[in-house]
Structure formats: structure tokens, C-alpha cells
Structure 1
Amino acid sequence: MTLFTALSGQPASISHAGPGHYQRLYQQLYGEAQGAQDAARDFLQAQLAQVEDAPNELPDEPEQLHAWVEQRCAEVAQAYAEYLEQRQQGRPRRYFHNKAHALYVLQRVAPTKQVDGAWLYGLLRYWQDPRFDGLLTTYLEELGDGEAAQNHVVIYRKLLNQHDADSDAGLEDPHYLQGALQMALGLCGEEFLPEVIGYNLGYEQLPLHLLITSYELSELGIDPYYFTLHVTIDNASSGHACKAAQSVLNLLPLGEGRADFYRRVAQGYRLNDLGPGTTAIIKDFNLHDELVALLERKRSYGQHMHSDYCRFEGKTVNQWLALPGQIGAFLQALEDKGWIRRNQDPAESRFWQLIEGAGAAMFGVFSGYEKQVLHDWIAGDWISDRRVPPARPGRGKSLPQDPHPPADPDTQALVDSLRGLPDEQQLQTLIAWMSARRHCTPAGLYATRRFIQLRARLR
């Protein structure tokens, strides 16, 4: 995230190529479908054209990058200190009005978070070149060095699963842009090397929103570990931000191609500003509108499932659900008849009692996220000043360990395929299992661990 987006939250303009374009491309690249590399190349060229004339935030000389990173970090630290002081003086949360708001944001940034680090995938082929060490270390740390408990994608999926918020319902096409961009860079790393390095430089800076998000998620009882982990590893002194700046200097040509290389680095950096950033998504949230939207999405499934015993404003529930555009009026009718009591404990509302609790007639109809939206909408002011016990970083719901876990067929097949191969050929085989789609699987985690072992042995 570049400084402009980190401080203002305002995204650069987006080039739309038709409804669902980014989502379809995202699925094509993630699925490693035929033609993915050509599609990635065309996409990157189009997106680079979008940022060609955007303001350049990087210092004029690449040798100034380390000082520039340190200055940015100091500015973010100062802004965060001011935020903490405001909170201590009684100011409300800056980002999340309620838990539903936070889960809404976590859902909509999920397409990006679930391919975390993908822009560096194509650089694994340079495992022998020490100039790439910082970039490869960054990628391997995104993959948790092959340990599921530290793999960033595994952690994020666990976070969504803990709150039953892993659905992609309600996501809009622009939410897939950054994820598609990251995978495209990973597939075309050799051809777009300066742009990959520049994108990495921008993405690995510590943004203010990461610090505030971590603080406020904890207040709402949502485990902030995914975000606190990035706060520590993106530091400017020795973490990914420092490594990103040093990588530019390591790979900068010594001859006449230097200026053009750095220009392309700056273009790659600006790709971070495409699409809706985190703070823009935060600002987009409206609790009532989100409730209406999610009920509208469920309307077609429930329009024939209700009896005719209850009528609201002369209509049965099935009649209220029969046509689009009636959800807002239906909610008002429920409120007028006393089935929903706004700004009170939701447990006192008859409609909520149908959804939550032992023997609830509509148990299982709504996901955890959907129930949270409805709960917070009913509660309104009743819960706005109540504090939730802080979540413990890194500790979510744990499942009992199976002493005899089933063998994973992909892992076994990978192990078998490596048997008898020279170390360098093993490395080439392993790289395919460290892609955005595969690295978080059991076989991908094994491949990452084995890659690290072999790389260390061969160097």
C-alpha cells in the first residue's frame, strides 16, 4: 500500500473491462488455467498504462530509498501515537462501528489476502542468485516457511472460518483486482521484474491502517494475529520493508539501463493504488444497506419456505419475499409489529429469537456473519459503547489433534516424484507447489519446507 492510499484511503482510477472481468481473471489465474500467462501479461500491460501518469512518490535517487522508508515509518508511528492518545481521551473507534463492520471488511479484502505474497512467486527460479535473497526470504515468510501455523493464507482462512464469514457473497468485481494483479505479477516475474520489485516495495511498507485495524479488531473480540504478524515483519529496520528497499538497490543495473529500470520500479510501485484500498472499503460500509443486501441475496431461497400464518401489513412472508426491492419495507413492517425492537438487546426481539438460540425455528438459515449484521443492526445504540473482551493474538478455536492423520495423496505423490532426482531437479519440481493456489495445502507446505532445506544445502 503506497503512502497516498495508506494515509488517505483514496484509490486511483480503475479500468473496468466489463462486469465480472476481474473476478473471472482472478479465477483463471488462481486455477492455473490454460492461457493464464498470456492473460496475466495483457492484464499487467493494461494496468500499468493506468498508472503511467500517476504522481511518483519515490525519491529521485534509489540510494535515498532506505532513508525514505525510515521517514515513512516514522510518520506512520507518529500518526498511530496520535490515534492512541485520542482513544485514551475517550474518542470512539476510528474504523469499525461494530463487529459486523469489521467482518464486512475482512470479507471484502479476502481475495487479496488469500493470495498473500503471490507477486513474488515467479522469483523462486532465482534461488541461486544472492541479489534475490531479500525477496525470496519475504516470499518464504509469507508462506510461513512451510508451517501451517505461520502461513499467511492459512491464518487468514482460519480467521474467516472462526466467524463463519468465508463466503464471497456480496463481493464486487473491484475487490478481485489487487489479488488478480498480484498473481499476474507472480506469473510474469521475469518479464516484469522491475515492476514486481516496485510493487513489493509499495506493498511491504507499514501502513497506518494495519496498526489501527489490529487495535480495533482486538477490541471487538476478533483475533488480530494476521494483522499483528504483518506489523512485526514489515518493519523498516530489518523486516520486509527494509528488504524491499535493499532489493531495489541489489538489482539496479550498473550501466545505462539504470534510469529505465528505476522508472519501471516506480510504475510497479504505483500499481498498489489500483482498486479499492482497505480504508476505502471501511468507508463504504452502511449497516442498514448491508442488511438489506444480504437479505435480498437470500430472498429467492426463502420466498416459498414460509407458512401463511403470519401477516405483516396484510402480506405473508412469502409475499414479502416474492419480488425484489421489498426487503427494506419488510424490515420496517417487522419493526412496526414489534417483532424487531431496535436499540435494545436483540434477545428481546422475537425475530432474533427465531434465528438464534436452542430450538430456534430458523436455526442454520443465516451464516455467522449474516447473524452478526442483523444483531448489530437491531442492537444499534444499545451496544455501541459496550466493550468486548480482547481477543488473544494467535489463539483461535482449536480442534483436537488427530494422532493418526490421514495421508495426503498430493503430498505422497510429490514425495514419490522427488525420489531419485538430483537436488536441483527437485527444486524445480517443488516450485510448482509453491504457487498461490497450492502453497497452503499439505503438499504445498511440504514443498516449501523441502525447498528451504535444499536451497540451504546447495548454497
Structure 2
Amino acid sequence: MTLLTALSGQPASLTHSAQGRHQQVYQQLHGETQDATELAREYLHDQLALVEATDCDLPEAPEQLLAWVEQRCAEVAQAYADYLEQRRQGGPRRYFQNKAHALYFLQCVAPTKQVDGAWLYGLLRYWQDQRFDGLLTTYLEELGDGEAAQNHVVIYRKLLSEHDADSEAGLEDDHYLQGALQLALGVCADEFLPEVIGFNLGYEQLPLHLLITAYELSELGIDPYYFTLHVTIDNASSGHACKAAQSVLNLLPLGEGRADFYRRVAAGYRLNDLGAGATSVIKQFNLQDQVVAMLERKRAFGQHMHSDYCRFEGQTVNQWLAKPGQIGAFLKALEDKGWIQHNQDPANSRFWQLIEGAGAAMFGVFSGYEKQLIHDWIAGEWVASERVPPVRPGRGSRFAREQHRPADPDTQALAESLCNLPDVQQLNALIPWLSARRHCTPAGLYATRRFIQLRARLR
């Protein structure tokens, strides 16, 4: 066999390092375990303690929030205009060195994006209270109002799938922190209501990195629709940013507890600063390191799978793969023997020919993302003569082929269970299906649409 031939299709559990606390909390809360509430409560207390003494840029008086949101939006708009002018004058991309860098970013933020809106889940029980209307509208819009083409989690999962970049291999514990926080807030919404409202206020502000990310993904041939969708719905005039500020005002106590409530809102707002943010994830990327780390993860499965036909620096492939920490030297040996030609079309490299193309000996060994890493690492400063055409944001057209799917048993069972229930009982029975784990399933999408219908009827 040739290099790493048997490494595809390995169980995910074998490719991960030991789980850290954030990942464990994330998976247990997302899996809706029985002790979820106690776990979420303890986790939130710990994370709030970390931000207790940190700075906060919220205005001192809550009455200033709407003006504060407008000012922040204006500053972001100006900063983005400056970025566009730099690009028009020939400036380089600010974020992504190449397509592999962009896919790395999409993978690292996936744990957060795949629980989009989860911090608001626990507020669904307040569907009769008009003070929560802005927050519930925000959550239901994160769920696409029950339409797959607009459901944020469905969109993001399809984005990863389109580029074969949906593996969790290589993710660090810190990449799960924000998602774990959002799930925990959703589970403990009653006890941490001010913190939920404050977190929502911070999360729904339009950040500069969202605009730049969408622009540069398009340049690299990656559909930016997930990000452009958030640009439009997080606007300061009528979107989620405005609703977030107004919700703080709607829910502030009128009496003695007002100051303490707003203090807790600020604490929830500061939770947004924890974990690996978008720009820090982008800065962490090193192409050489990522190639070595990816091959190291595969090394253990390929160390006994090769013949002794080829030798590099006197060692067989199996010998190079036998011990951890040798991948960097092995790649250098491949380069020295001419199997890798840097700063050229990767098609000129024998190593790449084993990976990609008709009859490639290692076809299927590497995922789309892993191949992109290797491709961009070999290509280096080489630039293809054909420019990748920018991708315009999709509008759900790629979901059209899903309209004629076989009946889903969960959806059928849910619909049947609702048949003889009064409207209020139906609505309450639907709420569990709007959780982070379920809302993106066929039954969850149906439940979201039905929830919206019943809520409108009962208001």
C-alpha cells in the first residue's frame, strides 16, 4: 500500500485527544442528559466568576442602550468601508491566507455555530408575556421559522458538508466554550434571566469580523450566506441588535431591584468575551503546523499499512510513521527526494498525485478539508492562472432538492401526539422539539412552524 492508505473512515473517538471540561459540558448539555440543569448551573457560576472583574463597555444607564447600539453599528460600518477601500486599492485579504485557512476557521467555530441561538431556548415558556416578544422573535428566526433553508444550524451544517469539512478532529477544548455557555444559559434561563438577556445583547451586535469574513469567503469560492444572513438580521434599526437592547428595557424591574438586574445583565454581556473568538481563531492558524498535526492524527492508523518498497533517508514509510513526532522530518525527506515541489502547481508533486486525480492511490484517504490543507501547503506562493469566481450568497436554492423527502417517523409521531390536545397543551408539548439538539431535524422544523401558528392564534 501507499502512504497513509488505510487512514480514512476511522472512528472519531480514536482521533480526538482526551476531552476537556468545555467539550464535556457541551456534549452533555447538547445531548440533553438528565443532570443537565445542575451541570449548567455549576458551569455558569464558574464562567461568571471569570468575568466578574473584567471591563465592560455598556453604558452606565440602560436608557442609553439604543443610542449605544446605533453608535456601535455606525462605527462598524465606517470600519468596513475603510476595509473595502483598502481592498479596492489592492490591499491583501485581512483574514484568510488561502482557502484552507478559511475552512480551518469554519471548523473551529462550528461548535458555536451549531447551537446558534441556544441561549434563548429557555425563554420559550414565556410565550404569553409580551415583554419577551423581541427575544422570542430572535430565537425563532435563528430557527428559520421552521424552514430548513433559513434555519441557521441547517445552513451551517450544509456549508461544512459542501466542503467535506465537518470533522471535529483537531478541535481544542476552548473551541467548545462559547457553545457550552449558550447551551447552559438556555437550560437555566429562569435562574439566570438577566445574564441571558445580557449575553443576547452582546451576541447580537453586528461585529466587523462578520462583514469581512463574508467578503473573503466569497473571494475564496465559499458560500458566505450563513454570514450575510446574520449581517441583515443583526441590524441596529429593526433587527436582532435593536430587539436585544429593547428587551433589556422591557424586562428591567421598575422597583428596587433595577440596579442589581442591570449589573447582572452586564455580567451576561461580558460572557461573550470568553473562549476563542473569531479573530483569535483566525490568528491561530499556521499552515505548516496544521498539515503536520493532521498527518500526525492519521499516523497511528497507517504505520503498519505500507510495503517496504519506498525508502526516504534510509527509512520505510512504516518506520517514519511508527513513532509520534516524526511527521515534520518525514515531510522534509519527501521534499528532499522531490516528491513535494513547493511554490508550484501541486499537480507537479508526486505526493499530490497520490492524493488527487484519476486513479490516485490514496483516493478517499483525506477529507476535502485535509486535501485543501495539503494543496495550499504545497502551492505556497504559486497562484493558479484561473481566478476562483466569487460566490454570491445563496438564498436557499440549494435546499430545493430536499422538498420531496420520505415521511419522517418522528414528525409523524409528534403530529399524532398533538391531535387531541388543546392549543395551549400542544404549544407546551412542542417546546422540547425547539431545543438546540432537535430544532434542525424534520420534526423540529415542523414543531417550530406549529409553535409559531399556535402562538399567533393564542395571542
**TM-score class normalised by the smaller sequence:** over 0.9
CA distance in 1, matches of 2:384, 2:403: 44
Contact 1:23-1:176 within 8 A present in 2 as well: yes
CA distance in 2, matches of 1:395, 1:382: 34
CA distance in 2, matches of 1:391, 1:173: 32
Establish whether residue 70 from structure 1 lines up as the match of residue 82 from structure 2.
no
CA distance in 1, matches of 2:394, 2:255: 47
Establish whether residue 300 from structure 1 lines up as the match of residue 300 from structure 2.
yes
- Partner amino acid for 1:115? V
- Partner amino acid for 2:299? R
Give a deviation string over 1:20-52, Cα, whole Å, max 9, x none.
Answer: 111111010000011011000010011111111
Establish whether residue 239 from structure 1 lines up as the match of residue 266 from structure 2.
no
1:452 — aligned with what? 452
What secondary structure does 1:325 align onto? coil
- Partner amino acid for 1:274? L
Give the C-alpha shift of residue 308 in structure 1.
1.1
Contact 2:116-2:142 within 8 A present in 1 as well: yes
CA distance in 2, matches of 1:168, 1:386: 32
1:46-445 pair list within 5 angstroms:
46-383=46-383, 387-394=387-394, 398=398, 401=401, 405-445=405-445
Percentage of identical aligned residues:
81
CA distance in 1, matches of 2:110, 2:350: 34
Give the C-alpha shift of residue 229 in structure 1.
0.2
What secondary structure does 2:191 align onto? coil
Cα distance change, pair 395–139 in 1 and its aligned pair in 2 (3 A): closer
CA distance in 1, matches of 2:409, 2:143: 21
- Unaligned 5+ segments in structure 2 are 1-17
What secondary structure does 1:149 align onto? coil
**Equivalent pairs, count:** 442
The two structures have a TM-score, normalised by structure 1, of 0.94
Contact 1:291-1:373 within 8 A present in 2 as well: yes
Contact 2:345-2:384 within 8 A present in 1 as well: no
- Partner amino acid for 1:428? N
- Unaligned 5+ segments in structure 1 are 1-17
What secondary structure does 1:383 align onto? coil
Give the C-alpha shift of residue 406 in structure 1.
1.7
Moved more, 298-307 or 164-173: 298-307
Cα distance change, pair 121–385 in 1 and its aligned pair in 2 (3 A): farther
Cα distance change, pair 85–406 in 1 and its aligned pair in 2 (3 A): same
CA distance in 2, matches of 1:39, 1:132: 26
CA distance in 1, matches of 2:326, 2:297: 12
Moved more, 59-68 or 390-399: 390-399
Moved more, 382-391 or 330-339: 382-391
Contact 2:339-2:351 within 8 A present in 1 as well: yes
Give a deviation string over 1:207-234, Cα, whole Å, max 9, x none.
Answer: 0000000000000000000000000000
- Partner amino acid for 1:166? D
- Partner amino acid for 1:406? P
Give a deviation string over 1:337-369, Cα, whole Å, max 9, x none.
Answer: 111000000011011000001110000000000
Cα distance change, pair 150–403 in 1 and its aligned pair in 2 (3 A): closer
Contact 1:411-1:446 within 8 A present in 2 as well: yes
Contact 2:120-2:186 within 8 A present in 1 as well: yes
1:3 — aligned with what? none
Cα distance change, pair 332–281 in 1 and its aligned pair in 2 (3 A): same
Give 4+ residue runs of structure 1 displaced > 3 Å after superposition: 384-387, 395-404
CA distance in 2, matches of 1:73, 1:208: 9
Give the C-alpha shift of residue 405 in structure 1.
2.5
Contact 1:162-1:396 within 8 A present in 2 as well: no
Contact 1:97-1:384 within 8 A present in 2 as well: no
CA distance in 2, matches of 1:72, 1:298: 45
CA distance in 2, matches of 1:436, 1:400: 24
- Partner amino acid for 1:444? G
Cα distance change, pair 451–267 in 1 and its aligned pair in 2 (3 A): same
Contact 1:220-1:387 within 8 A present in 2 as well: no
Give a deviation string over 1:124-179, Cα, whole Å, max 9, x none.
Answer: 00000010000000000000000000000000000000000000000000100000
- Partner amino acid for 1:80? Y
Give the alignment's Cα RMSD to 1 decimal.
1.5
Give the C-alpha shift of residue 56 in structure 1.
1.8
CA distance in 2, matches of 1:396, 1:402: 11
CA distance in 1, matches of 2:397, 2:164: 12
- Partner amino acid for 1:189? A
What secondary structure does 1:87 align onto? helix
What secondary structure does 2:401 align onto? coil
- Partner amino acid for 1:77? A
